[in-house]
């Protein structure tokens, strides 16, 4: 039986966590604004704003009272005996969050916030002029801070540990997907890569294939914007509780289920990129909008993990967005938004164009057959950087070699390579 005392303590805990979440979610909106609407001149002040929010949020998240409240609540079986109850889920996840947060020094949290805010800006500017040297010192600092963060968290250093751990990457991955280790990822990626690379060679060696006409069309960006917004609304993204903007790299963020911010990007000669990116982010957005409003600010109102999140984005982008059924439904919309510009293409040509297998340089533009190879390259690069086996000076060369080995493509410049 839940006692009045334990209920009171549990309510204090939840109220405190909700207050901390208010600060964190404010930072999320400021971060979205920095990448979409903020003028360049606002960077210095925005960096200070985000650092202050990170500092205050960390202070609230490591308040010693949280540990005391958790101890008291966990001692009451009525709050924890049903592992699927709201109280048990919240307590379990809050204990995990608290133990991780208390391992991080406040100074490191602030420095990480300041550095990543400035690094994002420098990355975007460096990409414009293909200047890796400009971005390199910022990347080096982010890697160093990430290594320090991993050391604070710690990881399984025993050979063949039960969790399959054994390297710094594991410490950071655990924050995105509980229990995830490099060893467990490699166990999936290695056999998959061994099958994907020869499959790709077979596809490219085939003398037959779908038409690429759809991907060669030049379509006005303003019409593309209306088109992808209409599609994302049709598949379930609620624009009364979210919005779509542009950014250098598509992403989805926001402060809660009723304020979800997506971004995409446009090219006059590649409407499939805009559509695929928008469907991908819509998957994230629909998932976020489906979280429980009554639990905003607590673990019960948050995503369960990155794997589930990414499964939703890639389902809409690939399983739905590249399907024949989707294009049977979507084909008439092309005429609605682009008029005669697409009238010379059949439904079959459009569907085929959406499924062209063509190894390329950019992950978010990748087809379904090559997308996972892009992820594998990033995974291996991250492991090497985190272990110190690869320095930022040698990153472009390592990146370019992997793209040649896995995807058989030559990387012409760093903007389309390690800075993409």
Catalytic residue IDs: 281
The contacts found for 96-99 with CB under 8 angstroms, 24 or more apart, are 96/178, 97/61, 97/299, 98/61, 98/62, 98/66, 98/67, 98/70
Q: How far apart are CA 83 and CA 71, in angstroms?
A: 17
């Amino acid at each position: 039986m839940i006692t009045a005392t334990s209920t009171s303590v549990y309510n204090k805990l939840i109220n405190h966590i909700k207050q901390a979440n208010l600060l964190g979610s404010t930072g999320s909106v400021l971060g979205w604004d920095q990448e979409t609407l903020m003028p360049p001149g606002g960077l210095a002040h925005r960096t200070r704003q985000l650092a202050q929010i990170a500092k205050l949020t960390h202070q609230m998240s490591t308040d010693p009272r949280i540990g005391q409240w958790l101890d008291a609540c966990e001692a009451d079986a009525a709050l924890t005996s049903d592992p699927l109850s709201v109280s048990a889920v919240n307590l379990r996840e809050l204990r995990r969050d608290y133990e991780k947060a208390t391992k991080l020094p406040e100074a490191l949290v602030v420095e990480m916030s300041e550095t990543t805010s400035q690094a994002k800006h420098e990355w975007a500017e460096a990409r414009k002029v293909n200047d890796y040297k400009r971005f390199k010192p910022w990347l080096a600092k982010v890697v160093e801070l990430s290594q320090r963060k991993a050391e604070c968290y710690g990881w399984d250093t025993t050979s063949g540990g039960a969790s399959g751990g054994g390297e710094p990457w594991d410490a950071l991955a655990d924050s995105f997907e509980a229990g995830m280790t490099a060893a467990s990822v490699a166990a999936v990626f290695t056999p998959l890569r061994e099958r994907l690379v020869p499959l790709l060679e077979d596809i490219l060696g085939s003398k037959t294939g779908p038409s690429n006409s759809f991907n060669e069309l030049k379509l006005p960006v303003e019409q593309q914007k209306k088109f992808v917004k209409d599609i994302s609304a049709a598949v379930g993204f609620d624009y009364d509780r979210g919005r779509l903007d542009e950014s250098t790299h598509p992403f989805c963020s926001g402060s809660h289920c009723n304020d979800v911010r997506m971004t995409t990007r446009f090219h006059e000669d590649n409407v499939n990129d805009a559509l695929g990116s928008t469907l991908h982010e819509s998957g994230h957005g629909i998932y976020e909008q489906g979280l429980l409003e009554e639990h905003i600010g607590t673990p019960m109102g948050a995503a369960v993990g990155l794997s589930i999140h990414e499964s939703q984005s890639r389902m809409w982008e690939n399983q739905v967005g590249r399907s024949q059924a989707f294009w049977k439904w979507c084909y008439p919309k092309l005429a609605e938004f682009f008029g005669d510009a697409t009238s010379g293409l059949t439904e079959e040509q459009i569907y085929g164009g959406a499924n062209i297998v063509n190894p390329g340089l950019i992950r978010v533009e990748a087809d379904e057959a090559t997308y996972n190879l892009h992820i594998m390259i990033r995974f291996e690069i991250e492991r090497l950087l985190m272990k110190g086996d690869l320095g930022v000076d040698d990153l472009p060369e390592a990146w370019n070699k992997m793209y040649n080995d896995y995807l058989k493509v030559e990387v012409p410049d760093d903007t389309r390579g390690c800075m993409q």
